[in-house]
Every structure is written in structure tokens, then in C-alpha cells.
């Protein structure tokens, strides 16, 4: 199913006390007075939360232990749910898809998830399929479950607003013998299928959810030929892997799931607005051809590599804005390399194209722009594994946000398990031009610093941009952090350091032109500084750059 790097999540970790990131103080580059909101303060919670990682301290977690988040606004709160993953496996035995909620997207409190035990329908559905395939049933006590990647949305059903959650349950047993997925038990087959189920709530604060059962499962175009030559054979039996659902309601009122992970690509499956279940009958989750399978389990709308059944992309997330469906994608392994791309289409069915016109629907190679990538500013260890995102709009505003986990690199503070520390990152999205010649061709990029609800201090002026910046060329380098270098914006409109040439600034649009790249400038908190402080940041790209510029003013 998913990459082997998940062992970093589920490994039992002994209690460790780890020192935080050290770094020298830097000048406060933007400290306007008086503050428009005297009650606002800069977040102080630590990025390395290992000292409060125990279950008994979950009320202190804030954004600690976040993985594969999904966010929806409901009755005054932003509710977030994600994969059952935690440092030290602290979630184990405490229910599934635990969540958090917030009123300001900065401070979050823990809330319970929808259930404690695997829904009975999962074992029943699994063994019913196995029986029809001529396989022995797996005793319920022998089924190994994993709980992954829910998506949550606010929907209106019969005039009532509810939260609807689609969730994933994987079965980690071999198909042939039903034995647990271990090297010693390998029987020459693939592991069993994953399932997507659905539940609904009108009381998420009280963790009251009604389970609605089966929606879809992993499906194969190879009939009953589930054989696997070896553990190193990644030529997947399943065409669609039923995990990582995204959910959207189109402007025309149709409801769709987009799901799939790592195998052959992403499926588009229409569901009934009222029931949340597939509009068409799915039938058996196996067929003798791709055409027969996709006619029932959803058309393929995207793949990183059309000829590969293990093509290193997963976790679709989709939004609609200004005539386009924007499809966000997670690339590569979870531990370090995880990065985010985005493509778009005028039609829910595609084709989905990247900023250069590459066709993701047809699997025409890596897509750009990069929305996130492993990176490192000065004075910190930086972040890796930044993907599997939620994209959502702030209630009653035009602001859009990106949320994912960020992992610390390995061996931070001498902790060999620091890469299993997963802090939730909320970042504002800026919509930037594809090139100076296309000012209205806007693409979404995440800002380099996390959201801290910085008050509006007024107009950002050209004079305030003059000075020294940390500049990152965020470009694809598998498993490596892009690192900051120095960029100086001179008062005479020239650049030196990481970039050379000229710069200019459009204050009304908050667009800074660096050579032939337009970046969008905003205020955020410098989380690497000690103490943290307000600064200026930017993000932007150019259609042929195959990279994104991130920057932060240092003085």
C-alpha cells in the first residue's frame, strides 16, 4: 500500500527530552507601533514537542501530532482531522481520526474522533469479497487495520448543515493466505485492499458521529491475479488504491470524490449529494480490463507516470476558484522528500495541466509549480516531509490557506526519532502571476512562513523592502532541503547576492518583481528568530522556472 517510510510514524518511541533549535538573535525587521490589536501575540509553542508528546498532555499539543490534515468550518470553529499517526504512537488505543479545532487557525484544541473500534462493515465487506474470489475469510481478530487520511467537508443535506467525513481503512494482510503483512509471512501475493467509508456529524465537538458505511474499495484491472513475485515487486495488483479521498461540490451542485495513492493514479467518482454514496453501482472490485474497471470505479483524471503502477504521487486535494478546478498533489516518500504540486482544469473531468501546459491527466511527467518542498532558513533545522495538504478558504473572506504536517529532519537535538515529529503547518496561499507578461494568470503558492494571524499594519512600502533577505530557490531535489542564501534589495532598485539585476514593487498588488519573476509579499512571523518577530515574506514563480522563490527579510 503506502511507502515503507510510515514505520517512522508507528515505531514505539521511548520518552525523550530534546533540546530545541538554537540560533542567534537577529534584528527586528518590522516592529511597527502601536499595534492595531493589543491582544494579539506571537505564538510561542515549540516546534519540537517531544517533551509534551504523551497522551496525558494532549491538551497542550496545539498543532503537535498532525498528519494528513483535512479542515472544515462548522458552527464557529475550524475542525481538523487527519491520519492516526503520532510521535511515540500515543494515539494508539484512544479512538480513530482524532481531531483539533480552532477559531483563529493559530491556536488549536484537541477533540475526539468518530469511533474507537473498526466499523463492523469493513471486515464484513472484506470477507464477502474474499469469498466471491474463492479465498478463505480472515477471522476478524486476525485482521490488521490502519486508519488513514480522512477528508471532512461541511455540506447541506435536507436543509441542515452537517460535517461529512470520508475516511480510509487499510487491511494489512496478504491476499492469498490472509496472514499478517510481514516478510516472514510473505506468500507471493499483494496485501489486501483498502476501503473508504463515510460518517456524518452535527456535534463534532462532542465527537458524536453516525457511520454510513462502505463507499468504495481498492480495485484491480487484473481480475483475480493478485500474485506478486517478491517484496521488491511494486507492479501493483490494484489499479486504484482506495485511500486519500478529496471531496468537492461543483458550482453546478454535483458531488465528487477524487481518490487514489501511488498505484495507477487518481479516480473521479461521482457521489449522491444526499447519501454521499456512489451514484453508479460499483460491482465487483476487480475486472479484466482498465476500461471495464474505470467505467464503474471512476475515470482516471491524473497520474504522474501513465506507464507506472507505482508512480509516486498521492493525496489529491481539490478546490474551485475563478473558473478553474485546482488539483493539489503530493509527490514522493513521506519521511523527507514529500513535496506539493498543483495543476488545474476548467472541467472537473480534466484535462489537468500544469503552469507550463504539461498534461497531468495523461501522465506527462513532473508538474509545476512547487507549492511546498523541504527547506531550511538560517537559525533553524528547517522542515521536511511537507505535503498531503488541506486547502480551504477562511470563512467570510477571500483568504485561502494550505495546511499539512511538517516533519523535523533526522537527528535534531540528537534525537534519532526526530523525523517522526509532525507539527501541523498552516500557511497562507498567495495567488501569483505565471509571468510578467501574464498578470492575470494566477497560481496558488504557500508562503514560506507559517500563519500567525499577524494584524494589518498597513501598506507595505517599497522602502520597507530595502535590505537583506534570506532567499530560497525552492526546486525539486529528491530528499534534500533547499537552503537559504543572502539576497540584498538595494535602494537604487538593484539586486545582489542570490539574484542580480533589478527589482521593482507594485504596492497596490503587493507584487515584488525580482528580475523576471513576480513574487507576492505579505507580513508573517519569523518562526526561526529568537524571540520570534514580525517580518516580510514572499513567494512567487515563473512559468519556465520549474521552481518557486521563497524569501524572508532578515534586516
Q: Which three cell numbers stand for residue 216?
A: 468504495
Torsion of CA 489, 492, 495, 501, to 10 degrees: 150
Give the chain's length: 555
| Predicted confidence (pLDDT) at residue 35 exceeds the cutoff of 70 | no
Residue 39: pLDDT band with limits 50, 70, 90: confident
Mean pLDDT of 37-61: 92
Residue 21: pLDDT band with limits 50, 70, 90: very low
Q: Which three cell numbers stand for residue 509?
A: 498588488
Question: How far, in Å, CA of 87 to CA of 136, rounded?
Answer: 36
Please give the pLDDT value at position 555.
86
* Out of 3-17, 114-128, 449-463, 464-478, least confident range: 3-17
- Is pLDDT larger for residue 521 or for residue 365? 521
For residue 158, count CB atoms less than 10 angstroms from its CB and return exposed for 0-12, middle for 13-18, buried for 19 or more: exposed
Residue 24: pLDDT band with limits 50, 70, 90: very low
Question: How far, in Å, CA of 49 to CA of 349, rounded?
Answer: 42
Helix (H) or strand (E) holding 7: helix 7-10
Phi, psi for residue 439 in degrees, rounded to 5: -65, -20
Mean pLDDT of 222-238: 96
Question: How far, in Å, CA of 293 to CA of 284, rounded?
Answer: 9
Order of strands, edge to edge, in the sheet holding 109-111?
70-74, 77-81, 99-102, 109-111
Please give the pLDDT value at position 47.
94
Contact status, residue 369 vs residue 355, Cβ threshold 8 Å: yes
| Predicted confidence (pLDDT) at residue 15 exceeds the cutoff of 80 | no
Q: 454-458: which pairs have CB atoms within 8 A and are 24 or more residues apart?
A: 454/40, 454/523, 454/524, 454/525, 454/534, 455/35, 455/36, 455/37, 455/40, 456/36, 457/30, 457/32, 457/35, 457/36, 457/523, 457/534, 458/32
Q: Which three cell numbers stand for residue 543?
A: 512559468
Report the DSSP pairing between strands 400-407 and 370-372.
unpaired
Mean pLDDT of 389-417: 96
Look-up of cell digits 508573517 = 524
Mean pLDDT of 325-352: 98
Question: How far, in Å, CA of 90 to CA of 279, rounded?
Answer: 39
Q: Which three cell numbers stand for residue 307?
A: 506507464
Going along the chain from its start, the domains and CATH numbers come out as 4-446 (2.115.10.20)
Q: Is 244 left (phi over 0), alpha (psi -120 to 50) or beta?
A: left
> Other C-beta atoms within 10 Å of 19: how many?
12
Helix (H) or strand (E) holding 482: strand 482-483
From the DSSP assignment, how many helices (H) and strands (E) are in the chain?
A: 4, 30
Please give the pLDDT value at position 19.
34
Half-sphere exposure (Cβ direction) of 366: Cα atoms closer than 13 Å? 14
* Tens digit of each residue's pLDDT (9 = 90 or more) over 78-121: 999 999 999 989 888 898 999 999 999 999 999 999 999 999 99
Whose CA is closest to 224, among 295, 175, 157? 175
| Predicted confidence (pLDDT) at residue 392 exceeds the cutoff of 80 | yes
Please give the pLDDT value at position 36.
59
* Tens digit of each residue's pLDDT (9 = 90 or more) over 241-264: 999 999 999 999 999 999 999 999
Please give the pLDDT value at position 3.
45
Please give the pLDDT value at position 365.
80
For residue 103, count CB atoms less than 10 angstroms from its CB and return exposed for 0-12, middle for 13-18, buried for 19 or more: exposed
Eight-state DSSP code of residue 450 = -
| Predicted confidence (pLDDT) at residue 26 exceeds the cutoff of 60 | no
Whose CA is closest to 198, among 166, 150, 239, 228? 166
Q: Angle at CA 165, nearest 5°, toward 240 and 405?
A: 75
Residue 539: pLDDT band with limits 50, 70, 90: very high
Phi, psi for residue 404 in degrees, rounded to 5: -155, 180
Average pLDDT score, the chain = 93
Contact status, residue 112 vs residue 207, Cβ threshold 8 Å: yes
Question: How far, in Å, CA of 91 to CA of 485, rounded?
Answer: 39
Question: How far, in Å, CA of 258 to CA of 269, rounded?
Answer: 6
Q: Which three cell numbers stand for residue 397?
A: 473572506
Please give the pLDDT value at position 10.
37
| Predicted confidence (pLDDT) at residue 378 exceeds the cutoff of 80 | yes
Question: How far, in Å, CA of 79 to CA of 252, rounded?
Answer: 26
**Percent over 70 (pLDDT), the chain:** 93
Residues facing residue 191 across a β-bridge: 174
Mean pLDDT of 331-354: 98
Amino acid at each position: 500500500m503506502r511507502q515503507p517510510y510510515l514505520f517512522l510514524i508507528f515505531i514505539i518511541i521511548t520518552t525523550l527530552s530534546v533540546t530545541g533549535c538554537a540560533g542567534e538573535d537577529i534584528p527586528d525587521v518590522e516592529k511597527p507601533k502601536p499595534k492595531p490589536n493589543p491582544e494579539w501575540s506571537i505564538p510561542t509553542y515549540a516546534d519540537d514537542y517531544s517533551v509534551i508528546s504523551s497522551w496525558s498532555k494532549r491538551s497542550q499539543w496545539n498543532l503537535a501530532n498532525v498528519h494528513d490534515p483535512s479542515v472544515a468550518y462548522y458552527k464557529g470553529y475550524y475542525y481538523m482531522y487527519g491520519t492516526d499517526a503520532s510521535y511515540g504512537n500515543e494515539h494508539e488505543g484512544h479512538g480513530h481520526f482524532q481531531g483539533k479545532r480552532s477559531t483563529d487557525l493559530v491556536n488549536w484544541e484537541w477533540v475526539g474522533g468518530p469511533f474507537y473500534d473498526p466499523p463492523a462493515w469493513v471486515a464484513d465487506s472484506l470477507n464477502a469479497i474474499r469469498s466471491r474470489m474463492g479465498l478463505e475469510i480472515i477471522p476478524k481478530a486476525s485482521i490488521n487495520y490502519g486508519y488513514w487520511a480522512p477528508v471532512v467537508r461541511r455540506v447541506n443535506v435536507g436543509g441542515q448543515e452537517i460535517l461529512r467525513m470520508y475516511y480510509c481503512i487499510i487491511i494489512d494482510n496478504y491476499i492469498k493466505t490472509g496472514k499478517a503483512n510481514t516478510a516472514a509471512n510473505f506468500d507471493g501475493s499483494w496485501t489486501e485492499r483498502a476501503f473508504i467509508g463515510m460518517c456524518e456529524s452535527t456535534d463534532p465537538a462532542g465527537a458524536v458521529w453516525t457511520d454510513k458505511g462502505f463507499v468504495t474499495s481498492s480495485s484491480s484491472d487484473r481480475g483475480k491475479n493478485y500474485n506478486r513475485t517478491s517484496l521488491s515487486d511494486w507492479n501493483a495488483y490494484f489499479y486504484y488504491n482506495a485511500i486519500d479521498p478529496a471531496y468537492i461540490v461543483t458550482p453546478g451542485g454535483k458531488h465528487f470524490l477524487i481518490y487514489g495513492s501511488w498505484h495507477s493514479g487518481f479516480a473521479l467518482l461521482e457521489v449522491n449529494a444526499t447519501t454521499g454514496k456512489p451514484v453508479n453501482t460499483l460491482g465487483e472490485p476487480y475486472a479484466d480490463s482498465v476500461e471495464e474497471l474505470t467505467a464503474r470505479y471512476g475515470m482516471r483524471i491524473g497520474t504522474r507516470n501513465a506507464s507506472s503502477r507505482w508512480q509516486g504521487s498521492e493525496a489529491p486535494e481539490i478546490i474551485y476558484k475563478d473558473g478553474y478546478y485546482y488539483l493539489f498533489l503530493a509527490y514522493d516518500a513521506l519521511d523527507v522528500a514529500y513535496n506539493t504540486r498543483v495543476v488545474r482544469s476548467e472541467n472537473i473531468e480534466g484535462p489537468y495541466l500544469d503552469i507550463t501546459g504539461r498534461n497531468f491527466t495523461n501522465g506527462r511527467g513532473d508538474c509545476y509549480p512547487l507549492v511546498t518542498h523541504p527547506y531550511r532558513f538560517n537559525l533553524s533545522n528547517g522542515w521536511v516531509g511537507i505535503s498531503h495538504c488541506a486547502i480551504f478558504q477562511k470563512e467570510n473572506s477571500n483568504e485561502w490557506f494550505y495546511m499539512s504536517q511538517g516533519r523535523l529532519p533526522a537527528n535534531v537535538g540528537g534525537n534519532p526519532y526526530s523525523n517522526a515529529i509532525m507539527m501541523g503547518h498552516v500557511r497562507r496561499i498567495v495567488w501569483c502571476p505565471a509571468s510578467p507578461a501574464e498578470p492575470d494568470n494566477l497560481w496558488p503558492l504557500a508562503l514560506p512562513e507559517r500563519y500567525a494571524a499577524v494584524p494589518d499594519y498597513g501598506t507595505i512600502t517599497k522602502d520597507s523592502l530595502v535590505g537583506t533577505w534570506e532567499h530560497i530557490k525552492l526546486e525539486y531535489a529528491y530528499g534534500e532541503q533547499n537552503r537559504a542564501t543572502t539576497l540584498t534589495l538595494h535602494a537604487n532598485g538593484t539586486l545582489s547576492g542570490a539574484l542580480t539585476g533589478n527589482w521593482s514593487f507594485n504596492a497596490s498588488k503587493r507584487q515584488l518583481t525580482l528580475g523576471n519573476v513576480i513574487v507576492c509579499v505579505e507580513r508573517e512571523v519569523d518562526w526561526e528568530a529568537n524571540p520570534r518577530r514580525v517580518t516580510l515574506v514572499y513567494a512567487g514563480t515563473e512559468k519556465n522556472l520549474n521552481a518557486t522563490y521563497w524569501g524572508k527579510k532578515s534586516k
